[in-house]
Chains A and B, each alone.
Chain A
């Protein structure tokens, strides 16, 4: 009998229906809320078009190599993050556990952000929009005090949505409306991830493509708004002198890193469901480039709308001044227009300076309105909602906008949940008899119960803490150990052979240099810069306190020591698994082998993984 031909072994592992699903899932995971509300902000504060230079350099030397590394790793080993790293080397199993831990922590708070989006979405069906008017106070003589002093949009966000407490230590009560929305969000996540990639693969067609449609609609609408061109000019005008500031380079490196969702284990999980012979090099480059282009594409409507908002704010300021001047001097209506405001002001200032001074006119500076830059939740829930009120047909725009944010966040949640789900499925502790539906149900239920703490009055402060500490530093550490582990422990020569098996091409010089030297070095520099910046100033947060003298400005407060301890714990917990597991393995080895000779780790290669 001759040797049987190579029959691909049916190992019962689920696979993608087609390659498009896989690429779309990776893109959906990478493209998230940060592309919409962090990248445009960074562009704005770091000199507009000039920011693209450090951004693309970071993409080239840090983003794409790390992405290729993860995708190739998952495809070669065909296991989730914990199993994959255990297979590379038992001493590196901690890297997998660390990624798993980060995915858990991030899933918890990320879905709460989606809860807020969902709350705004279901409130967008009202006429007028609830964040456009201030409610009345108790005796109906005027507007609610807190709302009147800040704006209606601020009031709806801080009071009606979050019901925020003035301090992180005051927990407040559970907000029942947020609990309902949180339950709905986790139900949606459960629905989409109920059978792993079988179901997320179908859902991703909608959640990954829909945001692009809405962005295009907003692009067209945004460009027709007055003041859009000012906003865009402001965004993209390059100011090359900002490149001298090292902070800009650090922000570019961190933005690329977090934007591509590296070191979560989700990308490893996604590519582990691929057939072994798949060109992951092309996939990695495609995903990275699409992610960056999406960031650029999203910043255009965002900045058109911001320019529109600055223009309307400027016009409102002018109009208010004009009314007070007309009232004071009893001039006929329409005598002072926006265009000749400055000439009138200078004329009146020279002829009646005391009267003008007595009016206490606010200085209207267009640049000042443009400079009000916000990122994160403030951009979406305060600035953008305010701009939406000013557009005609606000309900439709609000509904579209919040569905888009929800889809963006949901497709990233799929990646996070896969990063948690896939390694658990492969653990031998969980027996094969537990159906996938039950496991995903248990994960979603436990996450929902833990995430209830984020629906407290102080919930948004805690989410900031999680975002700043759990979702940043550990990822850098894990990514660093990933690169070092593959290049120096597994040996890049062996990995090169495996990659050649999968893609049919040898690793070219670009990958060799970036994997061996540039990426680990960059990660180390970014990590140290990050830590130094964190240590330099004592961590503080901005609290919304209606009783503060400077209200509606936010009050700067420092974290009390027990909160600081939690921050440090969040940052250290995933990282500590790396040395911990290595230590445990060492102890196990030393106990098992009584001989002083060192037992080499099992020789393993990608080709051996499948048969």
Chain B
């Protein structure tokens, strides 16, 4: 926006407002704020006079304190920020960043950790269950073997198990052995 007389008027009004709020006396008028040395850069000097005490200027420290107290309002009136509306020789009090009661990262961390621990527990339990099932199967198989024949049958001098019976060729003549005999 362009800086014209209306903006200057607004500025005077804001400074007067600040002075009124700070010193709590409602005698400061817009006419008490004087601007001088306005340049194209939009920079100027200003003083605040005190009409109650015969045209003396209010001490700079008071003006500074008043402006510092209401800095936020002044900035918002002009839609500017600390950097774009500079009061030379007035240090800004910085507002601390908003900190939630529990740091956000702890919450995220908690969520991640819970998920991982749950997954680990699940996998371990699944592994144990699988192993128990395998153990049960192998003990069942062992029990069956015990009930069956334990003696080693010998065929032609070599024990049967050594012969790879599965891989042997089946003699077709005897293949239908079961069917030749009539069932009783």
Contact = CB atoms under 8 A, between A and B. Distances in A.
Nearest to A181: B109
Contacts of A190: 120
B159 interface: no
A391 interface: no
B108 interface: yes
Given A330-B43, A332-B41, A140 B116 contact: no
A430 interface: no
Given A5-B167, A191-B123, A330 B40 contact: yes
Contacts of A133: 97
B109 A180 contact: yes
Contacts of A125: 104-105, 108
B147 interface: no
A183 B104 CA distance: 19
A1 interface: yes
Interface stretch (B4-12, B49-57, B74-82, B88-96): B88-96
Contacts of A142: 94
Contacts of B164: 1, 4
A251 B39 CA distance: 59
Nearest to A120: B105
B116 to A, nearest CB: 5
Nearest to B127: A437
A352 to B, nearest CB: 16
Contacts of B112: 122, 184
A136 B94 contact: yes
B26 to A, nearest CB: 31
A435 B132 CA distance: 12
Contact of A195 (B116, B119, B127): B127
Contact of B113 (A141, A184, A194): A184
A148 to B, nearest CB: 12
Nearest to B116: A187
B175 interface: no
B150 interface: no
Contacts of A508: none
A199 interface: yes
Contact of B41 (A2, A5, A333, A437): A333
B133 to A, nearest CB: 14
Given A136-B96, A184-B112, A191-B119, A437 B124 contact: yes
Nearest to B120: A191
A586 interface: no
A173 interface: no
Interface in A117-140: 119, 122-123, 125-126, 128, 133, 135-136, 140
A322 to B, nearest CB: 12
Given A1-B168, A2-B169, A140-B94, A122 B108 contact: yes
A180 B40 CA distance: 58
Nearest to A329: B41
A332 to B, nearest CB: 4
A184 B110 CA distance: 10
Interface string A314-339: 00000000000011001111000000
Contact of B109 (A1, A122, A135): A122
Given A5-B167, A122-B108, A122-B109, A140 B93 contact: yes
B40 A331 contact: yes
A5 B166 CA distance: 11
A331 B41 contact: yes
B117 interface: yes
Interface string B43-66: 100000000000000000000000
B36 interface: no
Interface string B97-117: 100000011001100110011
Contacts of B91: 141
A199 B123 contact: yes
Given A5-B167, A194-B120, A331-B41, A187 B127 contact: no
B184 interface: no
B131 interface: yes
B163 interface: yes
A326 B41 contact: yes
Given A184-B112, A184-B116, A135 B40 contact: no
B158 to A, nearest CB: 11
Contacts of A330: 39-41, 43
Nearest to B103: A126
Contacts of A390: none
A488 to B, nearest CB: 41
A141 B92 CA distance: 8
A195 B116 CA distance: 16
A359 interface: no
B42 interface: yes
Interface string B28-44: 00000000000111110
Nearest to B43: A330
A240 interface: no
A188 B117 CA distance: 9
Interface in B128-167: 131, 163-164, 166-167
Given A1-B167, A122-B105, A327-B41, A187 B117 contact: yes
A190 to B, nearest CB: 6
A125 B104 CA distance: 7
Nearest to B117: A187
A269 B162 CA distance: 35
Contacts of A332: 40-42
Nearest to A199: B123
A181 B105 CA distance: 11
Chain A to chain B: the 10 pairs with minimum beta-carbon distance, closest first: A4-B167, A332-B40, A330-B41, A122-B108, A330-B39, A1-B168, A122-B105, A126-B104, A187-B116, A123-B105
Interface of B: 39-43, 91, 93-94, 96-97, 104-105, 108-109, 112-113, 116-117, 119-120, 123-124, 127, 131, 163-164, 166-169
7 contacts: A5-B167, A135-B97, A183-B113, A191-B116, A194-B123, A195-B127, A330-B41
